[in-house]
Amino acid sequence: MRIRHYLPYTYLPVLNRLSPPPTHPLTNIALPTPTVQRLPNGARLHLLANDAQPVLRLQVVLPAGKRQEPLPGLSQLTARMLTEGTATRTARQVADMVAFYGASLDCEAGPDRATLTLYCLARHLPTLLPLVAEVLAAPTFPAEEMRQLQTRISQNMRVERQKISYRASEEMNRQLFGEDSAYGKPFDEAAFNQLTTDDLRAFHAAAYAPAGAELFLSGDVLAHGPEVAATLGQWQPVAGAAPVAPAPPAAAPAAAPANVLTVPVEGSIQASLRVGRRWPALTEAQTPELLLLVKILGGYFGSRLMRNIREDKGFTYGIQASVVARERAASLVIGTDVNGESAAATRREIDFELARLQTEPLGDDELETVKNYTLGKLLGETTTVFEQADRYRYVLLQGLRPDYYTELVRRTQAATAEELLTLARTYLSPSDMLTIVAGGAAS
């Protein structure tokens, strides 16, 4: 006879679907503390370990951006040419090796720095690391590949410059920072196409020196830190190369003769607007409150500008306000694309929202909503080890305090309507804003 044993009933609490789950305020963003090692050649290795996935990322960041280039376009072309051939491998062999191991390897130059990035499975790093070292130290800059790349970049830039959004942003940067600065200088196709392999070799020798390099190794890296240190620690500068001299910080140009400048774009019935001004550096004490203020103005879907210009007026699909922070200068930029006939009305509504932030204190509900959105988005952008490494790298390269994100959370939570009203009166005056209108009525 089989005896059956019955477990006692377990009574579970009834879920009340009418009551939302409790929420708790975000009190801190905890970024991992990296291990930092100075290599024999002067480079610094930053290790951020997380073995949740068997992948890693190696980034080599160098002061070899637009701000350091002696000739227009030289930093971009040099960076893109690093993987186009080395002392022992052709461009095809470099690409085939990277593809065979399911990795990615590329190098791009920005306004301030150039960054070489390798993604790969952790177990393949020992095989790919010598390739990274060779790409950094011994690119050959073959002439045929360089000419092909110059042609592709020039063609792409011609396409970009037909877009009203690109033309508006280009003109805004030129006006805010000046044509002679790295941040405001437009692309010069004629000068770019005159660059030679000798120019690339000279810039590489001067700018791609290990003493100025920051190496960021993140992911499943614990077993590979010593190997990276040993391999890239042997990377040596080119003998006799003079260090590159970075350009001075972008000086504020003379005030524009008018608040509104037009950029004709033939055949365009759409208009692209950029409204902006120079902005305090992120190292300034009031940065957390200023970033929150910009978020309220146009930094999320429920912002003032979106509700007015998209939802109420229907002038655009989207409008955004953001702070663009470079290492030596920052700007506030409001950007949108509208029908050309609506450009003037859109500018008036932007002025209206700027003035409203200067005269009307924020309500408690709106302030609480934007705080929760800001902190929730920040938390969501630090969930993976690569995102955490990005935040750490940002703090390091921008020269921010180590507790920048801790303070950002604390000060965002504590910001008051009165503080934001005072800041708006200082920094968001419509009369201080420059407007660029590309296309539309400008054509």
Structure tokens at 5: 């044993």
Residue appearing with tokens 């290790």: 47
Q: Which residues contact 182 (CB under 8 A, 6 or more apart)?
A: 65, 66, 67, 69, 111, 112, 247, 250
DSSP designation for 306: I
Structure tokens at 15: 């879920």
Question: Which carries the bigger pLDDT value, residue 199 or residue 267?
Answer: 199
Contact at 8 Å (CB) between 163 and 103? no
Q: How much is the CA Rg of the chain, to the nearest whole Å?
A: 26
How confident is the model over 82-93, as pLDDT tens digits? 999 999 999 999
At residue 441, the pLDDT reads 57
The 3-class secondary structure across 329-363, one letter per residue, is: CEEEEEEEEEEHHHHHHHHHHHHHHHHHHHHCCCC
d(CA 404, CA 382): 14
At residue 268, the pLDDT reads 87
Say if residue 26's pLDDT is above 60.
yes
How confident is the model over 276-319, as pLDDT tens digits? 999 999 999 999 999 999 999 999 999 999 999 999 999 999 99
At residue 421, the pLDDT reads 97
Please classify residue 365 by burial: count the beta carbons closer than 10 Å to its beta carbon, then call 0-12 exposed, 13-18 middle and 19+ buried. Answer: exposed
How confident is the model over 371-429, as pLDDT tens digits? 999 999 998 889 899 999 999 999 999 999 999 999 999 999 999 999 999 999 999 99
3-state secondary structure of 106: strand
At residue 266, the pLDDT reads 85
Contact at 8 Å (CB) between 185 and 179? yes
Say if residue 240's pLDDT is above 70.
no
Average pLDDT over residues 350-365: 96
Rounded to 5 degrees, what are φ and ψ at 119? -110, 135
Nearest to 187 by CA among 173, 198, 203: 173
At residue 257, the pLDDT reads 46
Contact at 8 Å (CB) between 213 and 241? no
Question: Which carries the bigger pLDDT value, residue 29 or residue 270?
Answer: 270
Nearest to 48 by CA among 235, 230, 234, 224: 224
At residue 30, the pLDDT reads 74
Contact at 8 Å (CB) between 333 and 275? yes
The 3-class secondary structure across 353-416, one letter per residue, is: HHHHHHHCCCCHHHHHHHHHHHHHHHHHCCCCHHHHHHHHHHHHHCCCCCCHHHHHHHHHHHCC
| Confidence grade of residue 12 (pLDDT, cut at 50, 70, 90) | low
In angstroms, the Cα distances linking 363 to 175, 368, 389, 416 are 36, 9, 36, 10
d(CA 212, CA 43): 6
Average pLDDT over residues 332-342: 96
Contact at 8 Å (CB) between 116 and 82? yes
* Domains contained in the chain, CATH given: 35-232 (3.30.830.10), 260-442 (3.30.830.10)
How confident is the model over 172-222, as pLDDT tens digits? 999 999 998 999 999 999 999 999 999 999 999 999 999 999 999 999 998
Contact at 8 Å (CB) between 225 and 47? yes
Nearest to 125 by CA among 252, 251, 225: 225
Q: What is the pTM of this model?
A: 0.90
Say if residue 246's pLDDT is above 80.
no
Q: Which residues contact 421 (CB under 8 A, 6 or more apart)?
A: 357, 358, 360, 361, 362
d(CA 380, CA 439): 37
DSSP designation for 285: T
Say if residue 124's pLDDT is above 50.
yes
